[in-house]
Structure 1
């Protein structure tokens, strides 16, 4: 039954234009950790969420006990499900993997390279790997320990190939949740990469100290 008194209801978005075409995909990706922004092939999904934000907020709050949130500032704003830290509300934790600690550290290093060291033209995955291997060599033992801990193994046989593989996996994961664009050897940060900064603000503000703990 359609809303006839202009009061937003939990079902309003179902009657929106393109709801049948877009919502199932949007719903699946949001629960999988995706951040939607006005970029590339996300634009149509972003616009659908933007136009139906009030109804969608009610839907996710009432049925899944999670908040559909908006981050960033226009025109670089983005939408995502806020899982209240480690809580996923009524959404199964099996729906997506939590970011591994070593991926978060790779994110910190990328943040430092791009935003602090101002290497804004760095867009090559291979050059990023080389840079981290060479210029952040002191951090390798700490990264090895994080990888070993997540895999429940000893770090004895890790090497530069391990670092490269971890960087590639981190980038793939960041792409899946809408933090970066990634195509073969090219990558670029998206507005939603800002979420890394928001979530781990305490560590980002003291990033040198955070990274030095890896030595």
Structure 2
């Protein structure tokens, strides 16, 4: 009976009235690393997951050995696919999101600006680019090294334009996976941005030391 009950749970989401319209695209995005919260066009997917949470969790664990996980708080929560233990699951490698080192470091700097230095007045991409160039000038050598390694070039060939381009590409990557909103020059952090903190907890807990290594 227990196995039959589990099998029934795994299939329950198929009976939901929105499954035909939403599940296929939701499935692709979840496997691509997107985090879903009550935000704009994501809200319909969030509500769909919320309504079918137990069924979808059983489905992804059984077929792909990954965990459908809820993060954040009840008010500012989000859903995403997480790996179970050390396994990478049964999701094809082409769907696994690998973040570049320079994007992670820019994410750390954004975290410091907003959550440690409380500079919440930074609301545009240009503001963020300028602040990183000027207020965090001492970190440039390390950022250049990361960018150069990614581009297979010499750090000496890079300048402030590379910093600006990397900040913009970081925000675009974060937008893809549901960590920020990005509309032209305006951006905002979403609740799922705290996944950066969760994934890199040790480095965040020693953030000054982490950033000092860039100098």
Q: Does residue 1:46 correspond to 2:46, yes or no? A: yes
Q: Does residue 1:175 correspond to 2:188, yes or no? A: no
Match of 2:88 in 1: 88
Give, in angstroms, the shift of residue 10 of structure 1: 1.1
Give, in angstroms, the shift of residue 95 of structure 1: 1.8
**2: CA distance, partners of 1:97 / 1:47:** 24
Give, in angstroms, the shift of residue 207 of structure 1: 0.9
Q: Which runs of 4+ in 1 moved over 2 A?
A: 4-8, 83-88, 150-154
Per-residue CA deviations over 1:174-194 (Å, capped at 9, x if unaligned) read 000000000001000000001
Give, in angstroms, the shift of residue 31 of structure 1: 0.5
- Could you say if the C-alpha distance between residues 87 and 169 of structure 1 is closer, same or farther in structure 2, counting changes exceeding 3 Å? farther
Q: Which moved more, 1:83-92 or 1:49-58?
A: 83-92
TM-score, length-scaled by structure 1? 0.93
Partner secondary structure for residue 56 of structure 2: helix
Question: Paired residues, what number?
Answer: 212
Q: Does residue 1:29 correspond to 2:56, yes or no? A: no
TM alignment of 1:5-20, pairs within 5 A: 8-20=8-20
TM-score, length-scaled by structure 2? 0.93
Contact preservation (8 Å) 2:65, 2:84: no
Q: Which has the higher helix share?
A: 2
Query: For the aligned residues, what is the CA RMSD?
Result: 1.8
Structure 2 unpaired stretches of 5+: none
